[in-house]
Structure 1
């Protein structure tokens, strides 16, 4: 089979605007580099290379601050950068600013030798990624029509998650195989990992520069409002539908992220090792990778709301059961179901918000969802770490309560945006 034919068959399920596919690959590249650091930074902090003032904090607390600071700053700045990209109508420029900042800060880790320096660098990375996410999602939204918006969001998220999932797998190996000899110079495993992250961000920057252009439909919106609508201005519901989806995304992300912090308690309860925990953690990501694109395309045909409501409903038992399972296999199934629930909610929610966004509003409207999801990912580990002392099931009961409230809000406050059923897309057709 000719190579071109083989590539066409492999990419057929992802038949979207070439700029969406290019952006998806670019986000996959920077996702690999960024997720590298999730594994490498804790190891680097615990090494003899880093020292300096700790201000009375323990090593584990410093690691927690460094990792969580990224998420909080990233989420905090997203509404601002999203609205600025609306005001100037320059999605590509904002993405390049963020990728450039990410590449530079990845490289500066090589020279960091104190805890304070690591905190500052990771904080700057959070701000850099805040430039990337809203502008990227807005660009995907503007490159799509209503009939294909869900599919575009699904493809974009699929490749982004592939990058995010692949990074941690390779990061530990790169560190452990060091030091490396290159052109007569010895490079430590840590420095090699930072170089890989830098190259990944630089590659992403190059791809966006060469392959991405702002769509002609993008318009500058100098009057873009920096506020977030909480109440529905139309009066048909109490809450604004995009705000409601943001709250639901916050609750969903919090419930999903409860798992990571309490690895020792989970392993002790299930009498399992790190391998099983890794499989259970990966189950969520695998489900997302496999289902984001088909669910995104399906919501273009059957509507956004059924998938969002169904996903939030599925999240309730999938979260609750994790507090009461007694075997590794059932925990794996529960995490897989959470991944399915997340896939049912995320791409259709972005598509629905994109349907509601007016011209020049994609960055500000969609940043509500990405900001909320980021805050949830940061709040989940903090919640489980604080609640597990009251009993193993308590964090998961808390997450179940959030999922239930989110499902109620979506069911009562969010209406369908597709007026008619779109035709089934013919992938690879003329």
Structure 2
């Protein structure tokens, strides 16, 4: 078993060879990219567990590589290497998601220890299939997904944010015959309008201003594997039409290209929205809905799976304690009772984040209610502390709970959006958008 997959991005041949040899000896699987272009190509394959990158490259920079990867696949641990000890740049990169920053020449032994610690944390999570074994409801969902895995029809996964829709999508992929082929996740809500066509379909060199080379889009990257379109309900009307065309013809072209290419991937979609209601309101195409709503599976929120809470708490606490080297840890009775009363608006994602923080900040032996909910139970019953207006709509109740939870997370993070986003299990962009929508100011914590 390897210690994890590392992408090393370094144009200095001597340092690159040295890093590759040492990390391979430590048990890592290493891919060495000597330029920004090689790094971009490498990141289109199997996603690394860690990126170790130089800042300055002959054809670009490591910061751009990091941001592109974050936009497509979310956060992955990144450590930057640089011969330019610019503290302002270091602070900015760490603030924006990098794990660490080392100045050349650096202590290789210490760097290896850091990489090993990151690898232990990222590799000790539960297996994909384990998510569907905790209750009768989840076992039935797991059985449905297992049957769907080898049926070459679109799968639509429904559920609230944090219920594990991507975990379910990966389960469909890994349980089927395409498991050795690419799994390409795409957040439809994060596709910038001006780049969406290029990201989805790819482009040829010179097809638009700035297109200095050929680019393979998500449809092409998926090959014969699985294309996972997350937040499909956020897809713009224009892109809905284009997606429908690809699904009908199983063909597409790169921007600026004349060659027709086949789309051979399995399609899995997910959303936390009511697509049926969106169709009725004219916000989502009915013909596209029919295309993707073939095998539908709805994941229940954690508040409807309370019988799973004791085992989930114990499991996540044990995993977090093992990562941190604490040994055995006990979840006390008060923490279990508090978990039962909590509404869990962030679902499994919130539970994992709360437990990780509680174990890290606690004494390492007992996980208490105060550590699990240091801000108090801000989301019990109807989702917020005070008695709700009986005339409030469900949207009002949900917004009130979300606003209270975000404010509490910001307060715990001393107003840092980055730390609050990590605690809440969302990207900084998502948090900023929610703060804007819910009218939460920087001082409103």
TM-score by length of structure 2 reads: 0.24
Higher strand share: 2
Larger relative contact order (Cα-Cα within 8 Å, sequence gap ≥ 6): 1
TM-score by length of structure 1 reads: 0.24
